[in-house]
Amino acid sequence: MSAFGTVFAPEMSLTRYEQGQWSATEFVSSDSLNLHPGAHVLHYSSTCFEGLKAFKHQDGSINIFRMEQNIARLIQSSELLSLPPVDAEQLKQMIVDIVKRYAGDVPLPPGSMYIRPTHIGTEASIGKAAAPSNTSLLYVLLSPVGDYFASGSKPLRLLLADETRCASHMGVVKSGGNYASALQPILKARQSVQADQVLFCPGGDVQETGAANFLLIDGNEIITKSLDSSFLHGITRHSILTLARDRGMTVSERALSVDELLERAQKPGAEAALSGTAAVLTSVGTLIHDGKEYAVGNGEAGPTTNALRQALNDIQWGKAADTHGWLTNVC
């Protein structure tokens, strides 16, 4: 089985921003892009992207999960990177049209079609370190994917690090540079303490990992950092919190310190999880801090984490009512 995200549909939808306007959308080969070596994105990281999924239901219909929210976040990221303004309606049509074109390649659950809209600055100028790109490229890649946990899931090990994932004012932007800046700490954590991920906690403030939001579950309460510009506003995070409220849970979006996290995590029945598009909700079994390991609850996947993940999957897979209007039917 191919690794997650390494197989692509043969075509992608694409538009160019030049002379103040977007071109008509095209379907082009997805195996390459033609960029000038001086393109702004290659030197000054003017790039942002999104990740969302389309699901095939038992009746054969294809449904995209929370497309409008992903488009809104890409527009926000583009604005904060001073990229040309994205046309929301055009991007929506680009996503719908390319998914329709390859509807036959959307796997049945637990598989899905992973959708990757990407916006990059293309102006050929290496003198614009302090100026935005006046031209850009917006394209939508498709990648049919299987079960993220095909090889079996196990609770993750997280190293708590007193450092930032990225520049604090850029955390809200879904940009490649933020992932790049987190890579070295993650690789070092894997080598030194066999951690799966780093939970960034600058100044003792529990924020996020390199690629996912963090949630602590203590009894009927779910605790996660309140939204600010320092970390990514996850759409899966929002979905999980909404479903938690639907179940009558108390949702506390507030500051969470490392000391409080370690204290609560060791309580019987405590759970912790990471939320994201690919894995939905992944259990955390061990926290590593100052050379000591702390089991979260009993160190295993907890029932609330499993129930929330299943509740979200059921909506995505068409097995439960979409009471929040999260699905867009495309065919």
Which pLDDT does position 3 carry in this prediction? 83
Q: What is the mean pLDDT of residues 179-195?
A: 96
Which DSSP state fits 45?
A: -
Residues of the chain with pLDDT > 90: what percent?
Answer: 94
Q: What is the mean pLDDT of residues 301-315?
A: 97
What angle (nearest 5°) sits at the alpha carbon of residue 122, between those of residues 7 and 21? 105
Q: What is the mean pLDDT of residues 51-73?
A: 98
Which pLDDT does position 228 carry in this prediction? 93
Which pLDDT does position 195 carry in this prediction? 96
Task: Report yes or no: 263 and 272 within 8 Å, Cβ to Cβ.
Answer: no
Give buried/exposed letters for 165-189 (b at 16+ CB in 10 A, else e): bbeeebbbbbbebbeebbeebbeeb
What are the DSSP E strand ranges found in 103-236? 112-121, 136-145, 156-161, 197-200, 213-218, 221-224
Which pLDDT does position 1 carry in this prediction? 57
Report the distance separating Cα 305 and Cα 64, nearest Å. 23
Residue 149, pLDDT > 70, answer no
Q: What is the mean pLDDT of residues 263-290?
A: 95
Read off the tokens for 70.
Answer: 């992903």
**What does the pLDDT look like over 233-272, one tens digit per residue?**
999 999 999 999 999 999 999 999 999 999 999 999 999 9
Report the distance separating Cα 165 and Cα 172, nearest Å. 11
Which pLDDT does position 129 carry in this prediction? 96
Which pLDDT does position 4 carry in this prediction? 87
- Find residue 76's DSSP bridge partners: none
Residue 253 CA: distances (Å) to CA of 36, 265, 302:
44, 17, 21
Q: What is the mean pLDDT of residues 305-309?
A: 97
Which of 258, 286, 273 is CA-nearest to residue 162?
Answer: 258
Q: What is the mean pLDDT of residues 294-318?
A: 97
Which of 220, 293, 282, 212 is CA-nearest to residue 250?
Answer: 220
Which pLDDT does position 2 carry in this prediction? 78
* Domains, in order of start, for the chain: 11-145 (3.30.470.10), 156-316 (3.20.10.10)
pLDDT, averaged across the chain: 96
Q: What is the mean pLDDT of residues 171-179?
A: 95
Report the distance separating Cα 330 and Cα 245, nearest Å. 29
Which of 204, 189, 116 is CA-nearest to residue 156?
Answer: 189
Residue 87, pLDDT > 80, answer yes
Determine the length of the chain: 331
Which pLDDT does position 150 carry in this prediction? 58
**What does the pLDDT look like over 94-122, one tens digit per residue?**
999 999 999 999 999 999 999 999 999 99
Q: What is the mean pLDDT of residues 49-55?
A: 98
